[in-house]
């Protein structure tokens, strides 16, 4: 597999899984929040959208950089959920998989967010996480996307399931795909009025 994308709501375990897959496949992990610090020009009208666009483009450049140097099983995550609908467009013809992590247990994901807030930092939005999980869980599958429900599973069980899926997956390289309605996806960018 060339690319492993991990998507899902906050606190579902994306980073935990990504770190383990990175070690398993001895590759590289790229998170959208790894971009350098940069100033927003004064003439930018929509700061949130501008910042997210630059971060997405930087992430794509990092992915391409490592792939061109022979890396495979590149693990990428932490981009705006709305970008998930673009992955099949940008990576058509490539060997990739999208792992969509969700939880069928809303209370579990709330607990994970609370734990993260108290111990690890990161986005803390307890009232938002349930809605995000619900929307992401219910939308249609994208090309080369597989859903992993983390409800009631340990991180070791989620890892074992992800490895099994990845190692047995035969990605489609050609498909008919039109990005779905953007309102079927979430955006962390509040200015898009989808938050």
Give percent of the chain above pLDDT 70. Answer: 89
pTM summary value: 0.88
DSSP, collapsed to helix, strand or coil, labels residue 1 as coil
pLDDT in tens, 29-45: 998 777 777 888 889 88
Domain ranges of the chain: 3-192
What local confidence, expressed as pLDDT, does residue 129 receive?
74
Residues 143 and 17: their CA atoms lie apart, in Å, by 21
* Class level of CATH domain 3-192: alpha beta
The 10s digit of each residue's pLDDT in 103-139 is 988 777 777 777 665 555 555 566 677 778 788 888 8
Find all residues with CB under 8 Å of 30, minimum gap 6, and list them.
Answer: 59, 62, 63, 66, 74, 75, 76, 77
Beta-ladder partners of 99: 6, 146
For residue 157, what pLDDT band results from cuts at 50, 70 and 90?
very high
Residue 69, pLDDT above cutoff 60 = yes
In this predicted model, which residue has the larger pLDDT, 107 or 177? 177
Mean pLDDT of the region 62-91: 94
Q: Please check the confidence at residue 64 and state whether its pLDDT lies above 90.
A: yes
Confidence band for 195, pLDDT divided at 50, 70 and 90: very low
| Mean pLDDT score of the chain | 87
């Amino acid at each position: 597999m060339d690319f492993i994308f991990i998507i899902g709501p906050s606190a579902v375990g994306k980073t935990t899984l990504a770190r383990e897959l990175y070690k398993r496949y001895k590759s590289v992990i790229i998170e959208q929040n790894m971009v350098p610090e940069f100033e927003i020009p004064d003439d930018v009208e929509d700061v949130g959208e501008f910042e997210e666009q630059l971060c997405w483009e930087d992430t794509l450049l990092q992915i391409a950089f490592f792939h061109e140097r022979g890396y495979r099983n590149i693990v990428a995550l932490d981009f705006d959920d709305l970008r998930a609908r673009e992955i099949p467009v940008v990576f058509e013809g490539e060997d990739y998989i999208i792992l969509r992590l969700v939880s069928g247990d809303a209370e579990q994901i709330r607990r994970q967010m609370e734990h993260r807030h108290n111990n690890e930092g990161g986005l803390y939005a307890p009232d938002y996480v349930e809605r995000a999980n619900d929307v992401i869980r219910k939308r249609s599958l994208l090309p080369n996307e597989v859903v992993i429900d983390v409800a009631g599973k340990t991180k070791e069980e989620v890892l074992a399931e992800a490895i099994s899926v990845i190692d047995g997956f035969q990605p489609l390289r050609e498909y008919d795909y039109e990005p779905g309605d953007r309102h079927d996806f979430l955006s962390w960018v509040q200015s898009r009025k989808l938050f």
